[in-house]
Chain A
Amino acid sequence: MKNTAKKWYDYLWVVSLTYLILGFFNILFAWLGLLCFFIPLIISITKGSKAYCNKYCGRGQLFALAGGRFGLSRRKDIPKWMKSSGFRYGFLLFFFAMFFLMLWNTWLVFAGAKDLRTVVTLLWTLKLPWHWAYHGTLFSDGVAQFAFGFYSVMLTSTVLGFVTMLLFKPRSWCVYCPMGTMTQLICRARNAASAPKSL
Chain B
Amino acid sequence: MPKRKAVIDTRTCVACGCCMKVCPRSAITIPRGICAEVDVALCVGCGKCAQECPTSVITLEVKE
A contact set with B: CB distance below 8 Å: 1-4, 44, 48-51, 53-55, 60, 64, 75, 77-78, 83, 88, 168-175, 180-181, 183-184, 186-188, 190-191
Q: How far does the alpha carbon of A172 sit from the alpha carbon of B18 in the complex, in Å?
A: 10
Q: Point out the residues of chain A lying under 8 angstroms from B53, CB to CB.
A: 169
What are 28 A-B residue pairs whose CB atoms fall within 8 Å in the complex? Answer: A1-B26, A2-B25, A3-B26, A4-B24, A44-B33, A49-B30, A49-B33, A50-B16, A51-B33, A54-B17, A54-B21, A55-B17, A60-B17, A75-B51, A83-B14, A168-B54, A170-B54, A171-B18, A171-B54, A174-B14, A174-B18, A175-B54, A180-B16, A184-B33, A184-B34, A187-B32, A188-B34, A191-B34
**Contact residues of B with A, CB < 8 Å?**
12, 14-18, 20-21, 23-26, 30-34, 42, 51-57
CB < 8 Å neighbour of B52 from A48, A83, A169, A183: A169
